Every structure is written in C-alpha cells, then in structure tokens.
Amino acid sequence: IDWTVEDGWHDAHVRPYGPLTFSPAAAVLHYGQEIFEGMKAFRHADGSVWTFRPESNGRRLQHSARRMALPELPVDLFVESIKQLVKTDEAWVPGGGESSLYIRPFMIANEDFLGVRPARRVAYYVIASPAGAYFKGGIKPVSIWLSRDYARAGRGGTGSAKCGGNYASSLLPQREAVENGCAQVLFLDAETNTYVEELGGMNVFLVQKDGSVITPSLTGSILEGITRDSVIQLLRDRGHTVTERRVEIAEWMEGVRSGEISEVFACGTAASISPIGVLKGADFSVGDADAQPGEITMGIRKDLLDIQYGRAPDRHGWLTRLV
Ligand code: PMP
C-alpha cells in the first residue's frame, strides 16, 4: 500500500514476491526511516488458519510510526493486509507440530530526497515465510549474555518503537553473545546500567520461589511485547501474582544464586516462550546450563501454544481467522 502526503494511503494490491526498486537517494537507505512488525499464522487441526492479536500489532505499528514520523496505517487496513496476503496461497501455512507462517509487515520511507526531514512518500508491505519449530529436538534452556558495553535504547530514544535502527545497534552485542555461546544479548538501561530491560528480541520474566512473577516495567525504552502482555494475563489466569516494576540486574543474579528466583524465561513471537538457564557476562556466570526447563515456564508455554494452535478455548478473544 502506498502513501503520499497528497493522497494518503492508496493502491493496495497483492503482487508476486520479488525485488523492490528504489532511487539510490530513497530516505530509508540513508536515515533509517522504517518500522516493522513480526507475527505468525497458525494452522488448526481442522485446517483453518488464524493469527494472534493482530490489532495489537496494528496499534504497535501505529505507535512506531508516530515515533519515526511515518504515517499511521489504520488498524483495520493493517489486519486486512494480513488477511489478503495469507489468503493468496493458504497452502503455505504449514500444519503440525509448532510450525507456523511468520509474517513481516513493514513500512519504509521511499521518497528520493537527501535531507533530514520526514519523507513525503512511504510504502507499506507485508511478506511472509513458513517457519518450523523454534526449538528443534526438544526445549532446552538457553544461555544469555549480559552486555555491559552497549545499550539498546536510552531515555527519549526509539526503544519502544519497532524500528530497524534499534536492531542495527544490537547487532554487535548480539554477535558478542553468540561468540560467547549465548543465544541472545540482555540489555540494561542506558542511564544507570543497573536495571534489566529486555533481550535483543524478547521480553523477560523472573519467577520467584513463592510463585509470584516479576517482569521489567515498560519504561519507554523497551518494546511492548504482545507475547509479554499475553503471558502476564495467562500467569494471572493461573493465579500467579505478576508485578511490573524495575528489576536490578543484581536482584536477578543474587536471586538465582540464593534460589529466591526459581525460573527465568523470555518471550516473543518467534520462540514463544524460552526458558533461560544461564546468565553470563565477561566475568561471571549464574544458573545451571543443564537445568531442566521450569514447571511454570513450560505450563505457560503450553497455555499460550494451546490457544494459538486451537487446542484450548480462545477465552481472551485473541485469535482472528484468516482462512
Ligand atoms: N523485545 C524486542 C526487542 C523484540 O524485538 C521483540 C520481538 N518483536 C520482543 C521484545 C517481543 O515482542 P512480541 O512478543 O510482540 O513478539
């Protein structure tokens, strides 16, 4: 779907996957004026295809658009774009196991103009690709790497927007994480380097031994994960107390060492819920790499996947039928 200052949103169409053509002066290539979303479509046992909380992705895209001085796509048009794309060939939504169709909506500034001001011509696209199970051969707790040298986002920055620039700044620390045998990097707040923010692509939860759960509050510099919001709801459904508050990294480290924190997990669209076994950095390591995934972590994971794959009633009205 195209957008110009003069005409607003217009010319929605589906076309075969292939290269896009831009001017070498397209604003997105120079100033990073672009945003995106990540979501999935799930095939249920009866063959129908559903997506999870698409209005939330649509609203988050609008939030990202406001921060990046891009036009807001109406949420109903966003949801319709997902429906139209998935319907073009329903056979590409895999069935069985934990496979899904990964969907990537994105918006870029494609005005050819060298100069720092919001572009007057923008395009919105949706692409998709079948995705297998995130964990192959069983769910194993992952290790994560504490980045002390790099922050993902600071106060007043773009941390709560889903824009490419945030991920550009996390490429180097993410590479450091992988070089140290970790799946993802953990970021602390940029101002004090004290409070837990999020992983490179997931939000985090700490389960205490009394069953209460803590997750870092939305400070404006972390992404408001849709899985995060769903997990808070599912934990409360199971009777857990969930507190959103600032969490010091020392509280996490000491809590795991003392046993006060019994489980740690991360969540996001790609992996749904992933147990965290070890937190390590240049000069420390806490947790047990051979630990079994925690009971609460795996219970919530099952609750979420059962709703997404239609194996449990959609009691919160989170699913939208696509096919
Ligand atoms: N934080 C970051 C930085 C992410 O990239 C993602 C993935 N979109 C998340 C958290 C989790 O968000 P969601 O649950 O909406 O996928």
Distance (Å) from CA 220 to ligand 1 centroid: 14
What pLDDT is attached to residue 153?
Answer: 87
CA 198 to ligand 1: nearest atom:
1
Domain assignment present for residue 319? The answer is no
288 lies in the same domain as 159: yes
Same domain, 64 and 11: yes
d(CA 187, CA 55): 28
Ligand 1 atom 2, closest CA: 201
* Residue range 96-149, pLDDT digits in tens: 888 999 999 999 999 999 999 999 999 999 999 999 988 877 899 999 999 889
Cα distances (angstroms) measured from residue 298 to each of 51, 98, 240, 263, 305: 22, 14, 14, 10, 10
Intervals of the chain under pLDDT 70: none
Q: Are 262 and 208 in contact (CB under 8 A)?
A: yes
- Ligand 1 neighbours (beta carbon < 6 A): 38, 198, 201-203, 223, 225-228, 268-269
Considering the domain architecture, whether residues 112 and 160 belong to the same structural domain is answered as no
pLDDT of residue 96: 80
Q: Give the number of the atom of ligand 1 that is nearest the alpha carbon of residue 200.
A: 3
Atom of ligand 1 nearest to the CA of 229: 14
Per the structure, the complete domain to which residue 126 belongs is given by 2-133
Give the model's pLDDT for residue 137: 73
69 CA distance to ligand 1 middle (Å): 21
CATH number at residue 170: 3.20.10.10
User: Could you tell me if the ipTM is greater than 0.95?
Assistant: yes
Residue 251 lies in a domain: yes
CATH (domain of 98)? 3.30.470.10
Nearest alpha carbon to residue 201 among 238, 257, 162: 162
Q: How far is the CA of 25 from the centre of ligand 1 (A)?
A: 30
Among 255, 174, 163, which Cα is nearest to 209's? Answer: 255
Q: Note whether 64 and 108 are same-domain residues.
A: yes
pLDDT attached to residue 90: 81
Index of the ligand 1 atom closest to the CA of residue 162: 5
Position 125 in a domain: yes
Determine, yes or no, domain membership for 42: yes
pLDDT digits (tens, 9 = 90+) for 288-320: 988 899 999 999 999 999 999 999 999 999 999
How is 233-275 classified by DSSP, letter by letter?
Answer: HHHHHTT--EEEE--BHHHHHHHHHHTSEEEEEEEETTTEEEE
Assess if residue 165 is contained within a domain.
yes
